Structure formats: C-alpha cells, structure tokens
Amino acid sequence: MRIVNSSHLEHSMNIFDSLVDYGHEEVLFYSDPKTGLRAIIGVHSTVLGPALGGTRMWNYEHDGDALTDVLRLSKGMTYKAAVAGLNLGGGKGVIIGDARTQKSEGLFRAYGKAVESLGGRYITAEDVNTNVRDMSWIRTETQFVTGVEGIGGSGDPSPFTAYGVYCGIKATAKKQLGKDSVSGLRVAVQGAGNVAGHVVSHLVKDGATVYVTDIFKDKALSLANETGAQYVEPDAILSMDCDILSPNALGATLNDETIPQLKCSLVAGGANNQLADEKKHGAMLQARGILYAPDYVINAGGLMNVASEVDGYNKESVLRKNEGIYDTLLRIYAMAEERNILTVEASNALAEERIASVAHVHRTYSRKTVINRSQSSSGS
C-alpha cells in the first residue's frame, strides 16, 4: 500500500495544523489500486485503551472532505468512549467510494491489512454504508475488528445504537418537555438507515407520531410503510413543526442555514457531528431555546455493544449500559445549567476530566497488549 496522493487536501485545510488542532496521535492514508481501496484511518487517542471506531464508506467529492470526516469522527469517538465509561480510545476509518457499486471482498480484505498494520492500536467496526458481511471480509486479514457474526461476535451494532438513541430522546424530552415518554409527541427523523429504522420503530411503538425522510427516497418510503411513520421530502424535514428533531444521517446538518428554520423544542439523534461548528451552532440552538443532546453521548450504544466483544460479549450488560445513556444525559444537562455552559461543553468536560485523570499512566497499545487482553477474557 502507498500514501494517497491527494490534490484537494491543501484546498480544504492545512493538514498538519489540523492534526495539531484535533490532537491526533496518528493519521494514516492507504491506497491499493488493484482492489480500488482508498482509505484513511485516524487514531485520535489511546490514553484510555486501544482506539475503537467504525469504518464508513462514502463517495466524498474531495479527499480533503474524507480527511475532515476522519479527524472529527475519531476525536468524537475518544469523547464518546470516555463519557460512556469504556476503557477505549477513539479512532475512525473511511473508505472513499460508492458503497452501492464499489464494494468487493478484495477491497475490504485490503482494508483489513491496513487495520492489521496498526497492530491493535485501532479496532474497527461497522459504520455508515458498511455491514456485518464487510466486517467478516476484514476479519479474514485481522483480528482487530468487531461487530462480526459467530462465536464471540455481536453482529450488527445498529439496534443497540438505536436503543441508546431512543433512551436519550426520552431523557431529553423529560428535561425539556417534562414528559416521561414520547407518546403523543411529533418526531421528525432524518435518515432511514439501520440506526434510524430501529429508532423509528421504538418511537412508533411508544406512541409518537413520526415523520421520516432520507436522500434515498425508496429507503424512507419502505421504512414508513413498515412502521406506520409518515414520509416527507428531504428538503422539508428540518423545517417541520414538531416537538423533536432526530438527525440520524450524516453530520453537519445543524448550521447557519438550517438552525433558523427549526421548529422543534429539542434535537436528539444518532448522527455524528450534527453541529457544523460545535460552539457556534450549539450556542445558536441554545439561544433559540432548543435543547441539544450531544451526539457522541446519545449514540454511544453501538460502541458499548462492540466494545463488549473486547472483554467477552454479554448482551444483557450492553442493554443496561444503553439504558444508562438516559441518566448520563440528565447529568450533562444539570452540569450545563450549573456551570452556565452549552450541553456539548458539559459533555466535553466530562470526557476531558476522565481522560486527564489517567493520562499519567498512559501506555501505548500494541498488538501484544490486545492479544493478551483477548486471551485473558477468553480464559485461554
């Protein structure tokens, strides 16, 4: 493999300044022309443990856009693991390409070799446009992958992500609206993928009126027909008159243009990096009286699930941790009020305080470290 030659990276950012700003330990570029692999892996932090984070496949317009995604998402995974109480750091991978036409066994096995080259410092899993089959192909080249089927595997993490999002929506509605359930509330769900589908199912079952959309209209219509939700066009979802907006697609949907259009009381969804600019747009939401559930807190359920594979999978324990997202969010909202800060600033503070408390015992995570942990958990 070789480093990707990108003509667009400098167009979108100063690479090394960005690495300093985000605080990454390392960022690696991979290319395998024979399989068509073009990928980036970011290891943000291994202070709390090996960096775990999913790999998404997306047809980015510019390579610089893919790098921006890696930098933001991997840092978010560090904070997500820290707030969730997991002994893991944060990482993320992206494969540049069209998931509908370019997937192949060879491509994902080549990516598996890339993951293996990090020697256990990075453990991957599913993300946008990747699935259990893809993880199985990766597994043929490296053990440092979770979310696979079979003994010790937990399979698709999206139901757990969605359950955590559902618990987080209820906590946010409790804080903002004083309601113990979402029954009778109007919820606008952006996205119709695996996570969004399960979120919609939970909400409809609980008595909410749900509206759903997706850039792929067929997926949204299918989900609406299956669950009893109502389909709306993508351009209409953010300006809908509703109680709850639940972004469950790609990030940066909350920005200068969209926030003034919102007609909701709270935002709580599973998408990563919903705020185009964390402080600026978090403040814009607060100024409008809209309560924001920090995305990496509310969507931590899937990470909790795949993280369980590292030390020995236990579904019941994972579900209890998913339900704990409810109390974690209420704690964050209380902290935000007490300190007069944004909710995302409160969640960041929780993460940073935990990381700082163990930074002095930080160790480098290597292949040997992860293998020894795996053998210990399996009793071998």
Say how many residues make up the chain: 380
Q: Please give the C-alpha separations between residue 325 and each of 7, 181, 186, 374, in angstroms, as whole numbers.
A: 42, 15, 22, 27
DSSP 124: B
Report how far residue 361's alpha carbon sits from residue 177's, in angstroms, rounded to the nearest whole number: 43
Residue keyed to tokens 């079952």: 205
Catalytic residue (one of 75, 92, 175, 321): 92
Report how far residue 48's alpha carbon sits from residue 168's, in angstroms, rounded to the nearest whole number: 24
Q: How many CB atoms lie within 10 A of CB 327?
A: 11
Strand segments (E) across the chain:
26-32, 37-45, 51-52, 55-58, 89-96, 122-123, 186-190, 209-213, 230-231, 244-247, 266-267, 291-292
92 catalytic per annotation: yes
Burial of 98 (0-12, 13-18, 19+ CB in 10 A): exposed
Q: Which residues are catalytic?
A: 92
